[in-house]
Amino acid sequence: MIHRSVRDEERETERKSARRRRRLEDSLGIITHRRPRVPDMSLDAAESFFYDDARLTAWSDALGDVLSRARETKSIVIVDDFFPRAVAEHLRDDLQRQPTDCWTSRADDEDDDVAHDFSLCAHARAVSLFTRAACVMARGAAAGAYPSFSCARHATGDGIDPHDDVAVAPVAVGGGNGDDDVGEEGGVEFHARAYAGVLYLVDDAWTSARDGGALVDLANDEDGGTRVETKFNRFVCFQVPRLHRVEAVRARDKVRHSIFGWWYRPATEDEIPSDFYDDEEEEDEEVEEEEEEEEEERGEERDKKNGSKRRRRA
């Protein structure tokens, strides 16, 4: 007769619970990726984490290739305890310290067909630090994809309507400082969003059931979607396109901070908006018209000056 200890029974219960959870996640198209924990570090060392190549590589190796996993499984991948806690707290503190005037509301963005009710900040220190980690994550099938991230602030009532994240962006290459200055030998390449990612940096006590702000996956469920809970230091990623929305925030005494963005890849020809070049031609025509008007004005001024000189000589 085999005698089982209470601890053995607890372990067996945990294993059964884990198996049931994985079956549920697989049926919903959501995969929770669990990885070995990285030891916590002091707050003083938090920022140095992103500049220590050996430590960052070890973290990435423990994390695994989550982007390729999202592509292969066509599922949402969830990673809890994404960064060592001190690192995640450091990023959260940086977002909380950002002054009010650095946040720009997306609610009045007329160029966006989807309602995005939240505030955006692209210049927080936390974003540049996270981007260093995002570069290391681009491996395997995602090798060569480059990250572009920002931070978001969802206050009471803020949310995002259903959308699939599909977008193409012109990128300056070969010189220059941006889209309007690509340098003498530079040009523009089009890149499309390949993978989306978000790191939640909310209050420890945040619960989506009470505070709102959950991501709702609409890819495989037409009956309202599958909710992905918002919690501190949880990272969520998926391959683009994927239909989803963000529930409105209900909390009144705190905000939903996050770092979000995409990994981009070179766009195919059929992904480039057909009207992009039309817009470019219209802009060129407008510039030419403005230059012609300016030249006419300069000519009229020269004629006036020459006429004045002739009258004085006469």
Over the stretch 29-87, which tens digit does the pLDDT of each residue have? 555 544 445 555 554 678 999 999 999 999 999 999 999 999 999 999 999 999 999 99
Q: Tell me: cis bond preceding 241? Omega within 30 of 0 counts.
A: yes
Q: How far apart are CA 114 and CA 225, in angstroms?
A: 18
User: Residue range 189-207: average pLDDT?
Assistant: 96
DSSP 8-state code for residue 103: -
Rounded to 5 degrees, φ, ψ at 120 are -120, 145
User: Residue range 232-248: average pLDDT?
Assistant: 97
User: Residue range 197-219: average pLDDT?
Assistant: 96
Tens-place pLDDT, residues 271-293: 887 766 555 555 556 667 777 78
Residue 198 pLDDT grade (very low, low, confident, very high; cuts 50, 70, 90):
very high
Residue 226 pLDDT grade (very low, low, confident, very high; cuts 50, 70, 90):
very high
The pLDDT of residue 254 is above 50: yes
| pLDDT score at 27 | 47
| Amino acid found at 170 | P
| pLDDT score at 24 | 46
Q: How far apart are CA 160 and CA 115, in angstroms?
A: 6
β partners of residue 246: 160, 215
Tens-place pLDDT, residues 130-188: 999 999 999 887 888 989 999 999 999 999 999 999 999 887 766 555 444 444 455 77
- Rounded to 5°, angle at Cα 88 from 41 and 161: 170
